Structure 1
Amino acid sequence: MSYEAIRVDLDASNHVATITLNRPDKLNSFTRAMHLELSTALDQVEASGARALVLTGAGRGFCAGQDLADLDFTPGAMTDLGELIDAHFNPLIRRLQGLPLPVIAAVNGTAAGAGANLALACDLVLAARSASFIQAFVKIGLVPDSGGTWFLPQRVGMARALGLAITGDKLSAEKAESWGLIWQTVDDVELAATASKLAAQLAQQPTRAIAAIKQAMRAGTTQPLDQQLDLERDLQRELGASHDYAEGVQAFVEKRAPRFEGR
């Protein structure tokens, strides 16, 4: 399948897919066309049987958010940002959160605006040591979108979340890691290899269980303990009837490495 604004690489040998945002001259900022390509690419990844996904950017940046050149600023005909978000950004964030496989963001440079929150919508965020995260919305009179007002307070607390959103200051990758905003910072030259290795490792894990862990962890941020206990029970019942549970137990008994199949 041919794309212009992204690249898709499917490695059948280890069941890992890589999607690269590929508008490096525009810091991989989003246009409507790029959104449509990314949606199609995610369909392709799911249909391929991939069991882990890496999302990264080409060139010196991960993603600078929305490409303002793709918007209409004509008086009386300005782009309705609510419609744009409803049509493109919100479906993308929901899609990434709901994918039934682990998603790794490999942040190779600047992640700004919706680009920063795109990374945070992934399950694990690896960042190059030179990378940075910027809630740039306030610089043009806007509020963080693409889940920013949800991800930030949960991960770094209200004081830091407000500080990042209100000032629009750049947050270094190392500080983002120390604050608990992202999973890990690595040397720039090691980012791609580290992301690939982690994805290959996760692709060998029981991906149905990983999908259930994602569901349960996210539900736990918004619902009472009683409901969470019921969800854990229901997910455990379902997983207890899976191939991977039986294989995991058998491998434990036989003192060997399990061979999970994601089913």
Structure 2
Amino acid sequence: MLLGLVLSCTQKQNETAQINKPINEPIAYYYDELNAFKLLERSDLNILKLINLDTLIYVSSSERRGRYDEYHGKLTRINDSLYHVRCYKHVEQRGNRTKPMAVAEDSLYFNCDSTLVNQELTIRYANYQSKRFKITSTYNAFRIDKKLYGKSGDKLFLSFGYRHPIVNELVILKYDYYANASFRTKTSASGFYVVIDNIRIKTLNSVSEGGEYISAPKFYLKRLTKKNGLSQGRHLYKPKND
């Protein structure tokens, strides 16, 4: 029993020393991965890229739940470990599980930014049949096969050349039956606070100055190291200017 207590104390001391160790690398990664055992769909991945303790990119993606959120922010240091994040870019998937304003049995409505106009959009059904369309406007209606997407429980998978900024994989959006699909980029989002150390990063409860709830990301991520790499063949994308 004494040996167990000694080992426990030693482990806590080692963890404390690791936490207090400064982040010397110009770029650090933190992540959380769920359902990595899935074979037919990607695992849920929450991953953050920290650049010079000055800038972060955080992406939360779940193919099975039909969710994609991407935040870019600048950090302002409050104390040794607490930082405020001012978001200057927010990319989000919206519309899942909600019916469009105008319902047509054989159409999918897709709203997007002007940056996606003239891009090719691929619609894939649950049976892996696919069809390609051209995005012609910020508000689009695409003809679909109602035999493959015409009742509750049916799903569609959309892709249009947009890539995950940290792992560089093609972003695939899943939408449930009668979803009003939307994928937009905003130039701002609610700010939030993070606590950063050498082994983890986490958000604090997000409230406005007036005490009202605000929408902001919430995460608790561990440091990504060579010992605990990403699953399913995922790799970090490192641009030439990094």
| TM-score (normalizing by structure 1) | 0.21
Between structures 1 and 2, the one with greater strand share: 2
